[in-house]
Amino acid sequence: MHSVLLIGTGRLAFHLGHALRGAGFTITGLAGRDAAKSAELAKELSCPAFAVYNPLPKADLRILAVSDDAIHLVAEMLPNDGMPIVHLSGSKPLDLLLPHAHRGVLWPIQSFSPGKPISFQAVPLIVDADDGATLDLLKELAGRLSSTVSPLPFPLRQHLHLSAVIASNFPTFLLREAERLLTAHKIAPDLLHPLWKATTEKALHGADNAVTGPARRGDVKTIEQQLLLLTGEPDLRRAYAALSDLIIHTYHPETRDHQDL
């Protein structure tokens, strides 16, 4: 079983660290820039804590569980000793890990929140590397964590990451905005939750057939009425109009030559 040095103290480090332990990997240390956070997470993972700028223990693999903006900064701080090093970002290239020779990516397609450690078994893991040995190592590690492991080079990873943002971040923010509007009118936001859950479930069996609503029907009059209700919400009004326009032109292409909403 391979050993891992985990660098980072945030949510992803927390969940991945527990998943690695659960899969039987040895965590030789937990390193971070904040001593208190490093000590706290290291205690949970039953491993020693280190400051990232001090000498660190050896391992078969270094995993940088840090923010995208910190990947290159932290990579430059680590000794260029031939130990394979990977980051966990779906939208960033391997070159951020230079000058290290053996570079890789282990990207979980999942959002991570505070709370109990999640199981990685159903979380798709995307892997990539600059050399065959590192890629084989990542495939083996990922295969012990998840039932779905897919090698994917950076250009395709970028498209997958974009699609993940569209599919996850945007709908969640729109739900947040819908809840905010209801709260402002003293209507219980949880009245939307059964609809949200049912729509999500239907979409998983075919998103195209799950699209409903006035724009899907081409009901321009209802859309115009709702745009009037959003007069005091200019940003949300523009988003509503743009999304409605996109849906209408997708399902009613004959309207494309007409004036947009």
Residues 85 and 122 in one domain: yes
Which run of H or E residues covers position 209?
helix 207-210
- The CATH number of residue 165's host domain is 1.10.1040.20
Q: In whole angstroms, give the CA distance from residue 134 to residue 128.
A: 9
Mean pLDDT in consecutive groups of 10 residues from the start of the chain, 261 residues: 92 96 96 93 96 93 96 95 96 96 97 90 97 96 97 97 96 97 97 97 95 96 97 97 96 68 51
**The length of the chain, given as a count of residues:** 261
Structural domain range at position 141: 3-152
Q: In whole angstroms, give the CA distance from residue 132 to residue 136.
A: 6
Q: In whole angstroms, give the CA distance from residue 104 to residue 177.
A: 38
On whether the CB atoms of residues 119 and 150 are closer than 8 A, the answer is no
DSSP type of residue 75: H
Phi/psi at 51 (5° precision):
-85, 135
> Where is the domain boundary, 137, 152, 167?
152
Q: Is this structure's pTM higher than 0.75?
A: yes
Residues 38 and 126 in one domain: yes
Residues 136 and 160 in one domain: no
Q: How many domains in the chain?
A: 2
Handedness of CA 112, 113, 114, 117 (dihedral sign): negative
Residues 108 and 61 in one domain: yes
Neighbours of 191 (CB within 10 A): 10
- The CATH number of residue 137's host domain is 3.40.50.720
Residues 12 and 129 in one domain: yes
